[in-house]
Amino acid sequence: MLSRVSNSLYWMSRNIERAENTARLISVRLIGSIEHEENHWDELISIIGGNEAFEKKFDRYDAKSVMDFMSFSSSNPNSILHCIKLAREDARAIREIIPQELWEMINSFYWDVRQFKQENWSIDTIDHFYQMIIRQSALFQGMVEATLSFDEAYLFIKMAKFIERAEKTSRILNIYYYRSEDPDHNDPSLYRHWFAVLQSVSGHEAYLKRHRPFISGERVIEFLLFDDAFPRSIQYCIDQVYSVFQELENGKIEHYSEDLHQLIALMRNRFHEMTVVDALTEDLHQFLQRFQQDCFKLGRLINKTYYLGEVYV
Amino acid sequence: MFKTYKTESFFDEMLQQQGQPRSHYQVLYNRLASLPHDELQNRHEAAQQNFLRQGITFTVYHENQDSERTIPFDFIPNIIPKDEWQNLEKGLIQRVKALNLFLDDIYNSQQILKDGLIPRDLVVTCSHFYPQVTKIKVPRRNHIFMAGVDLIKDDQGEFRVLEDNLRNPSGLSYVFQNRYVMRQIFPDFFQDYDINSLENQFSHIHEALSSIAPNGVSNPNIVLLTPGVYNSAYFDHSFIAQQLGIELVEGRDLLVRDRTVYMKTTRGLRRVDVIYRRIDDDYLDPLEFLPDSMLGVAGLMDAYRAGNVTISNGVGNGVADDKAIYHYVPSMIRYYLGEEPLIKNVETYFLRDPEQRQYVLANLDKLVVKQTNASGGYNMLIGPQSTSEIREIFRKKIQQNPANFIAQPVIKLSRLPVFRGENFSGCHIDLRAFVFNGEHPHVFPGGLTRVALKEGSLIVNSSQGGGAKDTWVTQD
Amino acid sequence: MKYKVTQNTHYRYEHSVSQSINQIRLKPIDDVKQECLSFKKEFSPDVPSYTYYDYWGNHVETFYAWEDHNELLLVTTSEVIIDPYAFINTLSFSPQMHDAFRSTSFQQQYAEFLMKTYYTTLDDEICEQLTVDFWNQSPNPFEYVKLVNKYIYDTFTYQPGSTTVQTTAAEALAKKEGVCQDYTNLMLALCRYRGIPARYVSGYLYVGENSAMRGDSATHAWVEVKMPTAGWIGFDPTNNVLAQDQHIRVAVGRDYADIVPLKGIYHGGIQHLDVKVSVHAIEENVKSMK
């Protein structure tokens, strides 16, 4: 397969995943703000690392501005519209590789998102939009499973999805963790806070099944970092990346893939060998930031290993 | 619905002067008459939606904004009876054969220039003449793998060649998509017609590409080189690559090392034998053409020169489809083939000739003036539809640089009905026919029928309000 | 005259580079006026190279320096004999030659060398105004070229660094200064305007021990014009002389773009190019054996 093609598959997948994660993040905050006055809209911008760009455009972190910025703004490279636009461009660049139905799905998706931007949306109606994004992303994943051959192309899509998820979960935790410093279980605002964190990664139901309605910061963190069955826990995602990589390379380690193998194995082992207590003792922020740096390195090594993008600068 | 339809003084493909359909349109005419108007309207809209959903769009640049548009589709097909088509086929093969011989001659011994049939300066100072590719041994001496010949019918109903496109003719994918949408949404229209199907065409095209592989390599690695997704013809590139089962590559996917072209894959470098390129000559190789081209591949011409890769269509073909050279194509046919041209040109005035220039300048309001190095219907004066201001601008331009212009009489392009909601109106059409050249020449049945949708307009280009129709060649 | 020309072309890079593809036109022309006895090239590190002759008859070499490198040295050595008796100083025009000069067939045959190119495009009015007196004064085109040669020499200030390889005739004319390439571009424009086929020549200049000749002793550029029945005749506007046995020709073309001596594309850091040329007269009064 052409390196550029795998690059497009990789970014198409990451961008759709990213759009979905952003939609869920806002939607949860939006619903939460109906019952409770919310003044922390800036957190959402911090999660996507967009404070600088945001402040150039808006003076206040109010709900409407944050939603506009995260959903439609062209000055935000991670806005939902921009992610879908990029995903569509990548899909277009490989439309002769992917199934026609998949291309048409992404193409329509893009037109729907654009259509919404042009309408005069209000805070009361925009949740439809976020639900639509989440559904379309699910549709995308379903079509990938149902229409793609399980070959190299499929594996690149899968690898990208799990890297994006792992990174997003770690970013969410990194920003939302500060409020947990008070260990009082019964503080309703804290309960609500951690419940919302779980919702932000669609994890509340899985969590309840496992831990029943006893929500504490430590348990939520453990769940999001180390759960071995929840599809958005970091450990689960990294395990997936590891197994996709094994499949891509037929379980062999060649000269060109050695560095990549080493990094993925290291990231994986770190999660398997640690407990939530270790992570919290070390300082969770540091732990998460190191993980994000590893994700960044991982992206670059994938690039180098499979000639994605320019190898020679 | 045809009650108000007027053929006026034009040749109408469907209806005769008295309003009676021509025999090969009779069945379709009856069917149209039997369908309620609302249904036609709904199906017409469904057709346009279908193109958008499939993402068959082209990009329009206007005032620094780009927007994506579909090419409007009209459901009345251009039907060409079998015998008429067979004559046309012969004429097209003859023309492309002569043009190919011309290119081979120009980039080798230039015999036709030595024999004085074409003024030498028209060729060697043409901006599409590339000294870089002289004396290169092109496999099978094949410079034109794919030609797009634009045909029109005059008011007598006779086909004439309006333009040859020997560089990167686009539009083939639209032929397939028009047929696809037509079948999806107007399946009943095909009843009682036996027409040429398009399914097996890509095997001909693949064969043609394989047959021009360098050094007779069998099972060559063929790629289609595109400028990328932002190119207005990107859909064409992607569709053709997919249908041919070949890799769609961009310049950055390729590299040349020691005169050999490779593509970069996730498993290392893989050799490339044939490049069906859809990038203009100037952008192909920054080492030998535009040095800041980001679209091409450094060293490509060196690999081409060494005979290690086929680049198709050949480099430098623009010298044969230039508007000034067009005038000499009938002479080429006589010179190289010793035959009379089967399809006529449109009469052309050469503005560098003082006498012809004088005539043209005196009759600007009656003629079409075209710039020799422009395409896409831009920089064109259509005399009868122009204002005196525009004519004065052209007069000045012509006087400054007469050699840059040619003029032609206004051709009364033939027309076909176009659905307008309430009724049908007659719109001018042309036909881009595709000729493939490998071991044997092959004419694609039908082609792309383009229609000028603006009332009275003669410009069929999609960038300027043109639309498309399905094209049928009957088999009985 | 017999010359030995040695050129050291030294490419150095700030950071290591790879995938470098280069084209060079450095081998002296071999024709009736000049015989190229030998041409040797040495690359270090050693890299593969391939040759062909272009449309204008120039020898072109393409080399691929693929692996990482920080510098590349190319040494080319040529031995050339120039026949001093192959040149003329005056040309008397017969009426037949005048007719031939004006004939369509002459103009057609040399159409490439009469066209306006990127470097030589100049407004017709400017050309007319600059040359109307010279044209009227000259009994024939050859004398006209001489006057233009002198005019450019007199009007321009030789000023290395004032222009670049991208500078066109029009730009140089506005500044009235430049180097041999600028003198040459303008001369091409003014000859072609009068229907005199003219081509760009790149080569080496033998400046001798105490020569007053200007120009980088390294690479030089001048003009050749075509007169009916005569061959191509060299004029050097930078020195206001006819180009004869001190001018070693390497490549010809419509303008600089056709004869670029060194060009390349590579991946990596910024390039510093250092070219050193030495031209030695080995023997005088040697005639080519051709």
CA distance C174 to B383: 40
Residue B381 inside a domain? The answer is yes
* pLDDT for the residue C268: 86
For the segment A283-290, the average pLDDT, to the nearest whole number, is 90
Helix spans in C124-204 (H):
124-137, 141-155, 169-175, 180-193
Q: Is B256 on the interface with C (CB under 8 A)?
A: yes
Helix spans in B291-431 (H):
300-305, 318-321, 323-326, 329-332, 354-362, 388-400
Q: Which residues of A touch B241 (CB under 8 A)?
A: 96
Q: Is B302 on the interface with C (CB under 8 A)?
A: yes
Cα distances (angstroms) measured from residue C98 to each of A243, B436, C3, C223: 85, 50, 37, 21
Peptide bond into B313 cis (omega under 30): yes
| Contact partners, residue B98, CB within 8 Å, separation at least 6 | B329, B332, B333, B335, B336, B337
Structural domains of chain B, count: 1
Contact A4 B250 (CB under 8 A): yes
Nearest to B289 by CA among C241, C53, C180, C257: C257
* Closest CA in chain A for residue C270: A313
Assign residue B372 the CATH number of its domain.
3.30.1490.270
Q: Which residues of A touch C19 (CB under 8 A)?
A: 312
CA distance C205 to C216: 8
pLDDT exceeds 70 at position B293: yes
Using one digit for the tens of pLDDT, what is the confidence trace for B362-376?
999 999 998 876 555
pLDDT exceeds 70 at position B177: yes
Domain limits for position B385: 347-409
Structure tokens at C273: 């190019």
Mapped onto helix, strand or coil, the DSSP state of residue C205 is strand
Q: Is B306 on the interface with C (CB under 8 A)?
A: yes
For the segment A48-68, the average pLDDT, to the nearest whole number, is 91
Task: Compute the Cα dihedral for A140, A141, A147, A151 and give only its sign.
Answer: positive
Burial of B347 (0-12, 13-18, 19+ CB in 10 A): exposed
Contact B256 C21 (CB under 8 A): yes
Average pLDDT score, chain B = 91
CA distance B476 to A237: 63
- In the block, tokens 């023997």 appear at C283
Domain regions of chain C by residue span: 2-83+259-283, 88-243
The distance in angstroms from the start CA to the end CA of chain B is 29
Region C88-243: CATH code: 3.10.620.30
pTM listed for this prediction: 0.88
Distance from CA of B10 to the nearest CA of C (A): 43
Using one digit for the tens of pLDDT, what is the confidence trace for C71-103?
999 999 999 999 877 788 888 889 999 999 999
* Closest CA in chain A for residue B223: A2
| Contact partners, residue C42, CB within 8 Å, separation at least 6 | C74, C75, C76
pLDDT band at A312 (very low <50, low <70, confident <90, very high): very low
Q: Which amino acid is at B207?
A: E
Using one digit for the tens of pLDDT, what is the confidence trace for B182-226?
999 999 999 999 999 998 999 999 999 999 999 888 899 999 999
| CATH architecture, domain C2-83+259-283 | Sandwich (2.60)
How many A/C residue pairs have CB atoms within 8 Å? 6
Long-range CB contacts for residues B261-266, cutoff 8 Å, separation at least 24: B261/B297, B261/B300, B261/B303, B261/B308, B261/B309, B263/A2, B263/B221, B263/B223, B264/A2, B264/A3, B264/A4, B264/A307, B265/A1, B265/A2, B265/A3, B265/A307, B266/A1, B266/A2, B266/A3, B266/A6, B266/A152, B266/A306, B266/A307
Interface mutation vs chain B, best among C23, C55, C116, most B CBs within 10 Å: C55
CA distance B188 to B75: 12
Residue B360 inside a domain? The answer is yes
Contact B287 C265 (CB under 8 A): yes
Using one digit for the tens of pLDDT, what is the confidence trace for B47-86?
998 888 887 877 666 655 667 778 899 999 999 999 999 9
How many A/B residue pairs have CB atoms within 8 Å? 51
Nearest to A19 by CA among A110, A90, A91, A100: A110
| Contact partners, residue B135, CB within 8 Å, separation at least 6 | B107, B108, C55
Q: How many CB atoms lie within 10 A of CB B223?
A: 25
Residue B105 inside a domain? The answer is no
Structure tokens at A220: 């939520």
CA distance A276 to B353: 89
Mapped onto helix, strand or coil, the DSSP state of residue A2 is strand
Q: Which residues of C touch B125 (CB under 8 A)?
A: 111-112, 114-115
Cα B137 to chain centroid distance, Å, stands at 26
Using one digit for the tens of pLDDT, what is the confidence trace for B94-142?
999 999 999 999 999 999 999 999 999 999 999 899 999 999 999 999 9
pLDDT exceeds 80 at position C269: yes
| Helices A63-71 and A80-93, packing angle to 10 deg | 10
Residue B443 inside a domain? The answer is no
Structure tokens at A236: 């689960």
Contact C66 B298 (CB under 8 A): no
For the segment A69-75, the average pLDDT, to the nearest whole number, is 92
For the segment B266-290, the average pLDDT, to the nearest whole number, is 95
Q: Is C32 on the interface with B (CB under 8 A)?
A: no
pLDDT band at B421 (very low <50, low <70, confident <90, very high): confident
- The length of chain A is 313
Question: Would you list the DSSP string of B72-137?
Answer: PEEEEEEEE-HHHHHHHHHHHHHHHHHHHHHHHHHTTT-HHHHTTSS-HHHHHTSTT--GGGTT--
